[in-house]
């Protein structure tokens, strides 16, 4: 059909008239199930959601100048295994008494949307309900006398969801499940927010109450700072703060291990046998598609011995928004031509542009041209990293081979110098040494070696060649093959080498070789 004919068909089809809907719209209780149960694949995500809220509240308190009077921005997490409870308290802005009930019973409609906060979908705080019997929110804001509480009853929630006779919609369901109270006594700070999870479920080896697992998770995902033993941290933080990002929050866990830090260090373990150290950092900006910077990234360089172990928590190029990690360590792995190399590398991409939006599960970004632009800029950089990984592994292979040739040369020198070696054995040892030196010379070429490594190999070669000349000059052997006719000489030499290769006992080999030489004379 021609374009013209198409236009005619469109012209003939009457336009559908759209009207607004005046009828009531049902929002059923089942929405609660989606929010509290099905959102996140990893139960530990609930820690991230509460830390995201705390980080937003602390930013707001900072902006309001609340930290001038003695209180510090801080989050404390208390895990009580006996009571099976978790309490997360922050000294952020808190929620004013007057708005408390309304804000903490709302579903969606976060007032953060559009502002520079990390949350904005208005549901994250309910994620804990899927994993415990009761979630309590407790707070007050500056000027409030009372500390108010909302109790969300997880068991009641399950009953309501299961109850087929329940006719109410979402608001009725929430009224059934959430109750308000005033906290009895209060040694609480003048502004704070607290989440208490009671009777936490035993999921996946009880990981929600495992201090080590929780610490490890927060160290990777939480808005915590770099460890003092990571000396590149300061340089990275300085670059981030130029764009107003990367600020960290002090987070404590009651495990006696002190403040939680990100896991990068100057020195780290690659495996049981190998240690490595960071030898440099690369910090770069990724331009946005509408001018300005979309993100700031950093990679640390090291020896690239292989994949960094998962438990070290530093492998992979990771994304952060508001200094909280989005997705896992494999988020950008597909951008590597060989994805396995992602885990050989270590670095972060800190998002600046508010057009790059984490998805609801915070395991990736919403797909958009801005995200595409980010990936397009990131890909060549990851390609550069992959090239380094490949070259390093090639280099290690080269050095290993060179080392093997050195060993061979040394071994044949020993055979040459051996007191009991006969003239034929000495000749064979000399050839072997010369061959090894030729191989070593070849190994010293090649583009992956640095000048220093080439020089090192050159040095070793010169020393071995010198030792060889010296060892030869100690004997005034006449060439044992001189009486063989030149036509057959090479073949006989080949046979003799084979004999020395195969017969370990040099004395026996020498005797056999002697007899062969006699036969060919
Ligand atoms: N730690 C906190 N400090 C102050 N207010 C909080 C805190 N946690 C939650 N809130 C309030 O509850 C609201 C809903 O939180 P949440 O369900 O996580 O959604 P979102 O973070 O997307 O707004 C927040 O917008 C905020 O007003
Ligand atoms: Mg939130």
pLDDT tens profile 59-101: 999 999 999 878 899 999 999 999 999 999 999 999 999 999 9
Query: In 3D, which of 150, 143, 251 has the Cα closest to residue 191?
Result: 143
Which ranges in 328-474 belong to alpha helices (H)? 369-417, 423-443, 451-473
Residue 382 is encoded by which pair of tokens?
């990851």
Ligand nearest to the CA of residue 125, numbered in listed order: 1
Residue 458 is encoded by which pair of tokens?
């050159």
Q: Which DSSP category does 40 fall into?
A: -
What is the number of residues in the chain?
521
Assess whether pLDDT exceeds 70 at residue 3.
no
For 277-297, how does the pLDDT look when each residue is reduced to its tens digit (9 = 90+)? Answer: 999 999 999 999 888 899 999
Q: Which atom of ligand 1 is nearest to the CA of 94?
A: 4
Pocket test for ligand 1, best of 74, 110, 197 (most atoms within 8 A of CB): 110
Distance CA 85, CA 197 (A): 5
Q: Which atom of ligand 1 is nearest to the CA of 52?
A: 21
- Which of 27-41, 66-80, 324-338 shows the lowest per-residue confidence on average (mean pLDDT)? 27-41
Ligand nearest to the CA of residue 35, numbered in listed order: 1
DSSP calls for 242-300: TTT-----EEEETTSS-B---S--SEEESSSS-EEE--EEEEEEEE-TTSSEEEEEEEE
Distance CA 303, CA 423 (A): 47
Ligand 1 center–CA 121 separation, angstroms: 10
DSSP calls for 434-477: HHHHHHHHHHT-STTS-HHHHHHHHHHHHHHHHHHHHHHHT--P
For 413-429, how does the pLDDT look when each residue is reduced to its tens digit (9 = 90+)? Answer: 999 999 888 999 999 99
Ligand 2 center–CA 208 separation, angstroms: 19
In angstroms, the first-to-last Cα distance of the chain is: 95
Which residues does a 6 A CB cutoff place in the pocket of ligand 1?
Answer: 53-54, 57, 90, 92-95, 103-104, 110, 112, 119-125, 193
Pocket test for ligand 1, best of 59, 73, 119, 324 (most atoms within 8 A of CB): 119
Exposure on the CB side of residue 473, measured as CA atoms within 13 A: 6
Query: In 3D, which of 168, 172, 126, 133 has the Cα closest to residue 154?
Result: 133
Contacting residues for 407 by C-beta, under 8 A, at least 6 apart: none
What is the pairing mode between strands 316-321 and 346-351?
A: parallel
Taking residues 96-118, what's their average pLDDT? 90
Residue 106: pLDDT band (50, 70, 90) is very high
Long-range contacts of 283-286 (CB under 8 A, 24+ apart): 283/235, 283/236, 283/239, 284/381, 286/349, 286/374, 286/377, 286/378
What is the pairing mode between strands 74-80 and 148-153?
A: unpaired
Q: Which atom of ligand 1 is nearest to the CA of 122?
A: 19
Contacting residues for 496 by C-beta, under 8 A, at least 6 apart: 424, 428, 513, 516, 517
Pocket test for ligand 1, best of 35, 40, 51, 53 (most atoms within 8 A of CB): 53
**Contact at 8 Å (CB) between 15 and 53?**
no
Query: In 3D, which of 335, 350, 235 has the Cα closest to residue 295?
Result: 350
Name the residue with the closest Cα to ligand 1, atom 20. Answer: 122
Look at residue 86 and give its three-state secondary structure.
strand
Assess whether pLDDT exceeds 90 at residue 182.
yes
pLDDT of residue 10: 63
**Contact at 8 Å (CB) between 362 and 45?**
yes
Spacing of C-alpha 163 from chain mean position = 44
Ligand 2 center–CA 403 separation, angstroms: 57
With 0-12 / 13-18 / 19 or more C-beta atoms within 10 angstroms meaning exposed / middle / buried, residue 262 is buried
Q: Which atom of ligand 1 is nearest to the CA of 60?
A: 4
Torsion region of 199: left, alpha or beta (phi above 0 gives left; psi -120 to 50 gives alpha): left
pLDDT of residue 4: 62
Q: Which atom of ligand 1 is nearest to the CA of 92?
A: 3
* Helix or strand holding residue 138 (H, E): strand 132-140
Ligand 1 center–CA 331 separation, angstroms: 26
Look at residue 179 and give its three-state secondary structure.
strand
Q: What is the mean pLDDT of the chain?
A: 92
pLDDT of residue 38: 67
What is the share, in percent, of the chain residues with pLDDT greater than 90?
74
Ligand 2 center–CA 54 separation, angstroms: 8
Ligand 1 center–CA 375 separation, angstroms: 31
Assess whether pLDDT exceeds 80 at residue 118.
yes
Distances (CA, A) of 17 to 14, 20, 94: 9, 10, 48
Name the residue with the closest Cα to ligand 1, atom 27. Answer: 103
Q: Which atom of ligand 1 is nearest to the CA of 117?
A: 21
Assess whether pLDDT exceeds 80 at residue 447.
no
Residue 445: pLDDT band (50, 70, 90) is confident
Taking residues 449-458, what's their average pLDDT? 87
Name the residue with the closest Cα to ligand 1, atom 7. Answer: 53
Residue 376 is encoded by which pair of tokens?
């397009």
Assess whether pLDDT exceeds 80 at residue 235.
yes
Placement of tokens 């991409």 in the chain: 349
Residue 521 is encoded by which pair of tokens?
């004379």
């Amino acid at each position: 059909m021609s374009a013209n004919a198409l236009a005619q068909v469109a012209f003939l089809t009457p336009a559908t008239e759209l009207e607004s809907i005046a009828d009531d719209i049902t929002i059923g209780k089942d929405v609660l199930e989606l929010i509290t149960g099905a959102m996140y694949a990893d139960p530990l995500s609930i820690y991230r959601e509460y830390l995201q809220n705390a980080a937003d509240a602390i930013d707001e308190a900072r902006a309001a100048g609340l930290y001038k009077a003695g209180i510090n921005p801080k989050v404390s997490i208390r895990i009580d295994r006996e009571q099976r409870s978790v309490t997360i308290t922050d000294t952020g802005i808190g929620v004013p008494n007057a708005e408390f009930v309304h804000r903490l019973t709302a579903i969606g409609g976060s007032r953060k949307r559009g502002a520079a906060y990390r949350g904005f979908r208005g549901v994250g705080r309910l994620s804990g309900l899927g994993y415990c019997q009761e979630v309590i929110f407790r707070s007050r804001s500056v000027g409030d006398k009372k500390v108010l509480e909302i109790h969300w009853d997880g068991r009641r929630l399950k009953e309501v969801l299961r109850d087929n006779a329940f006719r109410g919609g979402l608001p009725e369901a929430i009224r059934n499940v959430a109750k308000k109270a005033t906290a009895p006594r209060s040694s609480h700070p003048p502004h704070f927010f607290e989440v208490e999870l009671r009777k936490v479920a035993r999921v996946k080896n009880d990981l929600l109450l495992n201090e080590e697992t929780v610490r490890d998770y927060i160290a990777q995902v939480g808005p915590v700072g770099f460890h003092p033993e990571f000396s590149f941290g300061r340089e990275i933080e300085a670059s981030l703060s130029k764009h107003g990002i990367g600020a960290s929050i002090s987070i404590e866990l009651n495990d006696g291990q002190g403040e939680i830090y990100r896991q990068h260090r100057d020195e780290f373990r690659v495996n049981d046998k190998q240690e490595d150290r960071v030898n440099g950092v690369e910090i770069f900006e990724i331009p946005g598609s509408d001018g300005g910077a979309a993100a700031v990234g950093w990679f640390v360089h090291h020896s690239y011995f292989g994949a960094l172990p998962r438990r070290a928590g530093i492998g992979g190029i990771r994304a952060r928004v508001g200094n909280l990690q989005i997705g896992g360590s494999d988020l950008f792995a597909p951008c590597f031509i060989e994805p396995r190399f992602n885990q050989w590398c270590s670095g972060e991409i800190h998002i600046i542009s508010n057009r790059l939006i984490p998805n609801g599960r915070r395991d990736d970004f919403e797909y958009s041209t801005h995200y595409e632009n980010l990936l397009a800029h990131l890909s060549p950089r990851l390609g550069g990293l992959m090239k380094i990984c490949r070259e390093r592994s090639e280099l290690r292979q080269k050095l290993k081979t060179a080392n093997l040739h050195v060993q061979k040369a040394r071994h044949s020198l020993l055979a040459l110098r051996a007191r009991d070696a006969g003239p034929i054995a000495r000749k064979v040892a000399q050839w072997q040494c010369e061959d090894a030196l030729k191989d070593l010379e070849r190994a010293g070429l090649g583009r992956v070696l640095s000048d220093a490594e080439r020089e090192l190999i050159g040095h070793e070669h010169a020393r071995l060649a010198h030792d060889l000349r010296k060892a030869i000059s100690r004997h005034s052997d006449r060439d044992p093959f001189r009486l063989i006719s030149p036509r057959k000489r090479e073949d006989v030499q080949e046979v003799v080498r084979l004999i020395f290769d195969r017969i370990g006992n040099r004395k026996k080999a020498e005797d056999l070789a002697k007899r062969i030489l006699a036969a060919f004379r």
